Amino acid sequence: MPARPTWQGHLKLSLVTCPVALYTATTKTNDVSFHLINPKTNNRIRMVATDPDTGPVERSDLVKGYEVSKDEYVLFDTADFDKVKLESTRTIDIGQFVDADDIDRLYWADPLYVVPDKGVGAEAFAVIREAMEKQNKIAIGSLVLRNRERRIALEVRGKGLVAWTLRAHDEVRDADDYFDDIPTKKADADMVDIAARIIGQKDADFDPSQFRDRYDEALKAMIAAKQKGQGVVEVAEPDDTNVIDLMAALRNSLKGSVGSEKKPAAKKKAPAKTKAA
């Protein structure tokens, strides 16, 4: 388990509370990342905080500012943020329970693992978790995370809980602003039937272990090639996929899907003996 939790506080259901810690459930440590390099010296470029009037300044001396008008700021230091005391700063108060399907998936954001903090209050945590599991509900609460109060949805997972931060209503754009301009067309029933058959042939179980970032893999291969002083092989441009005859494309896709099904490999025949010249 990571040494440093993302958030520590209490989980509260009515009069039942228990200390909990939240840990980020995802990681990007395997992603390829780059630095800015001066190719003339091969040195990494360091970004230096600079005041346009006085020059470079120490980052530890800086504070945050909110711009109220052009070049006019209200300043805040760390102590100021600590003075904003909300109950959700240190307590996740479960205020309501909903069905999972009631939450539009556009609002689900980042997952965090919720565990009893250092084993303390494990019994109260188990009571809350098992009651939620029995009712098959999603808990809705709030907490202050990274200087913002966020609504969260808590769901049971194994022996713990997963807290999903929820996007605010004003963060989600209205789909009608984008979908209203889509032309209204009645799809041909035969075409829809063929497309449905193609979908049926591609039916599979969800398996995230099969997902991989091929672009990331290509970058790693390029890095390895450059380390060895090898040239970089360019990828061929894909063929033009402009569809002229939609019905023909669907039929060909259906044939291709049928032909792509795995079949046992045929046994190779031994090569015929040839007469000596």
| Confidence band, pLDDT 50/70/90 cuts, at residue 25 | very high
**Is the pLDDT confidence value at 11 over 80?**
yes
pLDDT at 236: 64
The 3-state DSSP class for residue 177 equals helix
- The residue ranges of DSSP E strands in 64-206, in sequence order, are 64-69, 72-76, 91-93, 96-98, 108-116, 138-144, 149-157, 160-166
Residues 6 or more apart whose CB falls under 8 angstroms from that of 77 comprise 63, 64
* Per-residue pLDDT tens over the stretch 57-104: 998 899 999 999 998 999 988 888 777 777 778 899 998 999 988 999
pLDDT at 3: 67
Assigned CATH topology for domain 7-27+83-170 = Ku70; Chain: A; Domain 2 (2.40.290)
Q: What is the largest CA-CA distance in the chain?
A: 98
The tokens for 72 are: 């006019």
What CA–CA distances, in Å, run from 245 to 194, 251, 258?
14, 10, 20
* Per-residue pLDDT tens over the stretch 209-253: 887 777 777 788 888 887 788 776 676 666 665 656 778 887 888
**Is the pLDDT confidence value at 112 over 50?**
yes
Mean pLDDT value of segment 122-130: 91
* Per-residue pLDDT tens over the stretch 174-216: 999 999 998 888 888 988 898 888 888 888 887 878 877 777 7
d(CA 176, CA 184): 14
